[in-house]
Homo-oligomer: A and B are copies of this chain.
Amino acid sequence: MKVVSQPDEMKNLSRTLQRSGASIGLVPTMGALHDGHLSLLKRAQKLCDTSVISIFVNPAQFGPGEDLAQYPRPFEKDCELAEKNGCDIVFAPQPADMYPSSYQTLVEVEALGGKLCGRSRPTHFRGVATVVLKLFNIVMPQAAVFGQKDAQQAIILKRMVRDLNLSVRMEIAPTVRESDGLAMSSRNAYLTERERFEVPHIYQGLQYAGELYDKGEHNVARLRTAVMDLYNAAQTFTVEYFEMVDTERLEPVEAIDATTLIAGAFCTESSHTRLIDNIIVGGAI
Residues of A within 8 A of B (CB): 7, 11, 102-112, 129, 133-134, 137-138, 159-160, 163-167, 248-249
Contacts and interface: CB of A to CB of B under 8 A. Distances in A.
A217 to B, nearest CB: 30
A18 to B, nearest CB: 10
State the oligomeric state as a number of copies.
2
A43 to B, nearest CB: 24
A137 B167 contact: yes
Nearest to A166: B137
Contacts of A159: 102, 104-105
A205 to B, nearest CB: 31
B104 A165 contact: no
Nearest to A138: B165
Contacts of A105: 107-110, 129, 159-160, 163-164
B104 A167 contact: no
A24 to B, nearest CB: 15
Contact of A164 (B109, B134, B167): B134
Contacts of A129: 105
Nearest to A112: B104
A250 to B, nearest CB: 11
Nearest to A140: B167
The 6 closest A-B pairs by CB, nearest first: A105-B163, A137-B165, A104-B110, A138-B165, A105-B109, A105-B160
B107 A106 contact: yes
Given A105-B110, A106-B108, 16 more contacts: A102-B248, A102-B249, A104-B111, A104-B112, A105-B108, A105-B159, A105-B160, A105-B164, A107-B164, A108-B108, A133-B164, A134-B163, A134-B165, A137-B164, A137-B165, A137-B166
Contacts of A137: 164-167
